[in-house]
Amino acid sequence: GNSVTQMEGPVTLSEEAFLTINCTYTATGYPSLFWYVQYPGEGLQLLLKATKADDKGSNKGFEATYRKETTSFHLEKGSVQVSDSAVYFCALPSGAGSYQLTFGKGTKLSVIP
Amino acid sequence: DTGVSQDPRHKITKRGQNVTFRCDPISEHNRLYWYRQTLGQGPEFLTYFQNEAQLEKSRLLSDRFSAERPKGSFSTLEIQRTEQGDSAMYLCASSLLGGLNEQFFGPGTRLTVL
């Protein structure tokens, strides 16, 4: 079935540093791809999505491009802030009807001033 | 606030007790999902409803677990005879029928089994 492999953390960066969190996927066909973010003590929030190859999802300064050739959907941000400290999850639909989401293990990001 | 809500936010129980969690999805969403998240892991799918029909269940959902969505609105997840291994965050999500399966999550219920 569909699966994702996500760069394991934790990742610690200084404020204004460049961020990359790697995500590669294995899938039948070309499913939508998602990045979710989980702030401490909270549920998951959808950060961005892409629906087809070469699509770029973007939100709050974060970007990810759906790369069919490399089966990747890496998350990037040019200049991180302390408020970006959270756990980031890559996800894609899976299962018989593609109803469920399969998530990566998550990457914990800590940004220090 | 029209987001997904869950109740309670925290539950501490003793092994062997039964617990029930409630989820209220976004009002116009037909689809409702339950996931379980353990420390340091991503959420794992448990079950899925389309309106009141439970259409898919994970192997993770043992016979001690039961979920309902009686009128196609709120849902409950019950765990009978809780075990320490059931300690986790239980997340509920909802989405619209069709579309990209963009799921919106609630804050979760953290269960601790002593």
State the smallest CA–CA distance between residue A62 and chain B in angstroms.
18
pLDDT of residue A8: 85
Is B91 within 8 Å of A36 when comparing Cβ atoms? no
Low-confidence ranges of chain A (pLDDT < 50): none
Q: Which residues pair with A6 in a beta bridge?
A: A23
Q: Which residues pair with B1 in a beta bridge?
A: none
Which residues of A fall below an 8 Å CB-CB distance to B?
A: 6, 32, 34, 36, 42-46, 49, 51, 89, 91, 93, 95-106
Separation of alpha carbons A63 and A68, rounded Å: 16
Higher confidence at residue B34 or residue A98? B34
Q: What is the pLDDT of residues B71-113, one digit of tens each?
A: 889 999 999 999 999 999 999 999 987 766 789 999 999 999 9
DSSP secondary structure string for all residues of B42-101: --EEEEEEETTEEEEE-TT--TTEEEE-TTSS-EEEEESS--GGG-EEEEEEEE-SSTT-
Relative to beta strand B44-50, strand A100-103 is unpaired
pLDDT of residue B99: 65
